[in-house]
Amino acid sequence: MKIQNALIPALAAFAAPGLARAQDAARSIDQIVNENVGAVTGPFVNFIFAPLPGTSFPWIVLWLVVGATVFTIYFGFIQFRAFGHAIALVRGDYSNPKDAGEVSHFQALATALSGTVGLGNIAGVAVAVSIGGPGATFWMILAGLMGMASKFTECTLGVKYRNEYADGTVSGGPMYYLTKGFGEQGRAMLGRVLAVLFALFCILGSWGGGNMFQANQAHAQLVNITGGADSFLNGAGWITGLVLAGVVFVVIVGGIQSIAKVTEKIVPLMAVLYVGAAVIILVTNADKIGWAFGQIFAGAFTGLGIAGGMVGALIQGFKRAAFSNEAGVGSAAIAHSAVRTKEPITEGFVSLLEPFIDTVVICTMTALVIVITGVLMIDPDTGLYVWNAEAGRIATVGDVSGVALTSAAFANVASWFPYVLALAVVLFAFSTMISWSYYGLKAWTYLFGESKPAELSFKLLFCVFVVIGAAMDLGPVIDFSDAAIFAMAVVNIIGLYFLMPIVKDELDSYLSRLKSGQIRKFAV
Amino acid sequence: MPKQVFIVAYGGEDKTVVNLAATHARKEGAKLHIVHVLEWSPYSFLTPQELEERHARRKKELARAEEAVMTPVLTELRAMGVAAEGEILYGSAVDLILQVTKEQDAALIFVGRGETTLGARVFGSISIGLAQAAPVPTVIVP
């Protein structure tokens, strides 16, 4: 430890002149990229995040929520009806023991979850609660519950229309169900256009939200715990970027799955640790839980002093839920399509647990901890939250936001928790990058064919974007990649509207066979 | 009267356990049922790439186990005049061997002592697991 303490400043001092030059270079490249990318992508970003006329409500959020509501009603509240059955499927009650060794429902769910559980649950919720007040949590939970129906629809289609190759490997996702499903309906041309658009947006999203944003935030958190402005990493994002890119490179290009495997094992552990710490905080403050839920319900409809009132809470809640669980985006359909099942609908059932775990459980935990630990300032006279107009959010203890706010809330109870949180953020970021590198690759090979050179070119580009993401403050690029992820949802949900009758047929057939006893649990 | 069945938990390397089981089977006119287990948990974590390749890998793993483990041992036993069958299974070795013992209505289990590492002593090995839970006499071969 002592050696480390002496080594880090020494290394930093040694590298300082080089770092400064690199920063200057990075800054100029940064500016060039910002200007060029911003000019080209600005209109697209503005279009995707445009508010509905006369409101500040982004239409894209409404698009996701309307989609989730339509699927919820069309499938008769399937997320509630099939919840118990979904758990039985994950437990393997309906899995044929003869298929042991194949991908289980649990594994597909865990892998898809490792792609979504991450910064959205830690930083995103803090943003939602600090801007939209505790009431945002109510709308976030509601959006999470509705989003379960979107996941159900897309993941069922993902398995039904996947490609199975002679060597036993599979490729699935919206690109395939848009092409094949629309083809079956006699709309081959439209399906092909939507599939190509989806693939394009997915590639951009994988480079941006699924990569640069993650690298960028992981670096920010590392700077934060190594001394903030005084940190040797401050302004040297390329160091974090190179290390991260190196690890990503050996996993996705070198095929060294053991690193990814270690991460995939640590990520659930981190998630358990995170939720466990939140539960401990909630238990030790059990007397305040009733009050916190009171704040959440009251804030959902009144705003409790936040600038946007009820609508402000609603926008933030819906927006962060969508960012966090990706329901309707189509990404999960790619991960879930590898499961071995004769019934595509079973994967739909399993996938509906994803927004529940991600949003209804984990995001709510974060929100409750933030509300209960009192890091949001309340005016003792009025009982309303103190609005910091300059920052555009509720005033917080220590004047922090995002992941730093969650960190501060946990630090209130355990001073060492920010270090665990930093590790969690880096690991979550890494696992999200691994997942999105795969989603992007599938979209890439859909467009350019499944060949080794095509795959390698995508993977190398992906690694380059890790460094760029960590090293630069690329506002327009990040905005564009977020917009690309949401654009995936535009294309995907159009597709789901057309294809939902197919899912309905699958559902009716499966449920009738389940009722008649034709589909039974396997005896243990 | 149907032949008695002896189960042999065979990991693929330890021939001693197979030879001892063969000697006893010959003496008592029993049939050997070789069980080779590929350790697998449906709750392990896989990357998206591994999910995609899992089915293909499973096919390869089964083919390799059949070729390198099961076929040689069955051929050898049959050449020795011992009736033998075998199966390759995925899952937890102890659970699966117990399950096959029940299915085959077996009279005896043969298992190698296997690992003697500290980890195996603390967390248990296949032989310790079988010694604790087997419903029939179990021969642990050092």
Residue A316 pLDDT level (bands cut at 50, 70, 90): confident
Q: Is the pLDDT of residue A16 over 70?
A: no
Give residue A15's pLDDT: 43
Contact in structure between A443 and A198 (CB atoms under 8 Å) = yes
Map out the domains of chain B as residue ranges.
5-141
For an interface test with A, the pick among B39, B41, B55, B59 (most A C-beta atoms closer than 10 Å) comes out as: B55
Distance from the Cα of A489 to chain B's closest Cα (Å) equals 21
Contact in structure between A282 and A289 (CB atoms under 8 Å) = yes
What's the length of chain A? 524
The amino acid sitting at A235 is: G
Distance from the Cα of B105 to chain A's closest Cα (Å) equals 17
Binary contact (A100, B89; C-beta < 8 A): yes
Give residue A54's pLDDT: 80
Q: Any idea what the Cα angle at residue B136 is, between residues B132 and B138, rounded to 5°? A: 65
Residue A8 pLDDT level (bands cut at 50, 70, 90): very low
A259 touches chain B (CB under 8 A): no
Chain centroid to CA B40? 14
CATH number for the domain that contains residue A306: 1.20.1740.10
Contact in structure between A367 and A275 (CB atoms under 8 Å) = no
Of A366, A363, A362, A449, nearest to A409 by C-alpha is A366
Out of 3.40.50.620, 3.40.50.1370, 3.40.640.10, 3.90.180.10, which CATH number does the structure's domain B5-141 have? 3.40.50.620
Binary contact (A97, B46; C-beta < 8 A): no
B64 touches chain A (CB under 8 A): no
The amino acid sitting at A351 is: S
A509 touches chain B (CB under 8 A): no
Chain centroid to CA A397? 27
3-state secondary structure A411-469: HCCCCCHHHHHHHHHHHHHHHHHHHHHHHHHHHHHHHHCCCHHHHHHHHHHHHHHHHHH
A108 touches chain B (CB under 8 A): yes
Which residue of A95, A107, A265 is in closest CB contact with B51? A107
Binary contact (A438, B47; C-beta < 8 A): yes
Give residue A354's pLDDT: 92
Distance from the Cα of A176 to chain B's closest Cα (Å) equals 15
Q: Looking at residues A94-116, what average pLDDT do you find?
A: 85
Q: Is the pLDDT of residue A266 over 50?
A: yes
Give residue A116's pLDDT: 84
Q: Is the pLDDT of residue A346 over 90?
A: yes
Residue B117 pLDDT level (bands cut at 50, 70, 90): low
Residues of chain A contacting B91 with CB distance shorter than 8 Å: 97, 100-101
Q: Looking at residues B78-106, what average pLDDT do you find?
A: 90
Give the chain B residue nearest A93 (alpha carbons): B42
Residues of chain A contacting B40 with CB distance shorter than 8 Å: 100-101
Residue B121 pLDDT level (bands cut at 50, 70, 90): low
Give residue A4's pLDDT: 38
What whole-number distance in Å separates Cα of residue A518 and Cα of residue A520? 6
Burial A211-220 (b: 16+ CB within 10 A, else e): bbbbbbbbbb
Give residue A499's pLDDT: 95
Of A165, A195, A201, A202, nearest to A180 by C-alpha is A195
A104 touches chain B (CB under 8 A): yes
Q: How confident is the model over A119-137, as pLDDT tens digits?
A: 778 888 888 888 888 899 9
Give residue A340's pLDDT: 77
Helices A257-284 and B48-65 cross at an angle (nearest 10°) of 120
Listed range (A281-295, A350-364, B104-118) with the worst mean pLDDT = B104-118
Residues of chain B contacting A261 with CB distance shorter than 8 Å: 45-47, 50
Residue A13 pLDDT level (bands cut at 50, 70, 90): very low
Pick the more confident residue, B115 or A489: A489
Residues of chain B contacting A100 with CB distance shorter than 8 Å: 40, 42, 89-91
Binary contact (B51, A335; C-beta < 8 A): yes
Question: Is A16 within the bounds of a domain?
Answer: no
Pick the more confident residue, A148 or A95: A148
Q: In A162-283, which ranges are E strands? A: 163-164, 170-171
Contact in structure between B110 and B7 (CB atoms under 8 Å) = yes
Q: How confident is the model over A165-206, as pLDDT tens digits?
A: 888 788 889 999 999 999 999 999 999 999 999 999 999 989
Structure tokens at A511: 């449920």
Number of domains present in the structure of chain A? 1
Which residue of A92, A104, A260 is in closest CB contact with B47? A260
Question: Is A368 within the bounds of a domain?
Answer: yes
Binary contact (B47, A265; C-beta < 8 A): no
Residue A250 pLDDT level (bands cut at 50, 70, 90): confident
Q: Kind and range of the H or E element at B39? A: strand B31-39
Residue holding tokens 């195996």? B120
Pick the more confident residue, A36 or A122: A122
Give residue A5's pLDDT: 40
Give residue B128's pLDDT: 80
Domain enclosing residue A139, as ranges: 57-516
Pick the more confident residue, A77 or A403: A77
Neighbours of A73 (CB within 10 A): 11
Q: Is the pLDDT of residue B6 over 80?
A: yes
Distance from the Cα of B25 to chain A's closest Cα (Å) equals 28
Residue B1 pLDDT level (bands cut at 50, 70, 90): low
A102 touches chain B (CB under 8 A): yes
The amino acid sitting at B48 is: P
Backbone angles phi, psi at B35, to 5 degrees: -120, 120
Binary contact (A101, B56; C-beta < 8 A): no
Does this complex have an ipTM over 0.85? no
Distance from the Cα of B24 to chain A's closest Cα (Å) equals 31
Q: Looking at residues B11-28, what average pLDDT do you find?
A: 88
Give the chain B residue nearest A109 (alpha carbons): B45
Contact in structure between A296 and A135 (CB atoms under 8 Å) = yes
Binary contact (A170, B52; C-beta < 8 A): yes
For an interface test with B, the pick among A169, A442, A522, A524 (most B C-beta atoms closer than 10 Å) comes out as: A169
Q: How confident is the model over A453-503, as pLDDT tens digits?
A: 988 999 999 999 888 888 776 566 667 777 888 899 999 999 999 999 999
Contact in structure between A265 and A432 (CB atoms under 8 Å) = no
A100 touches chain B (CB under 8 A): yes
What whole-number distance in Å separates Cα of residue A337 and Cα of residue B102? 36
Residue A256 pLDDT level (bands cut at 50, 70, 90): low
Of B17, B21, B13, B12, nearest to B108 by C-alpha is B21
Of A500, A443, A486, A446, nearest to A154 by C-alpha is A500
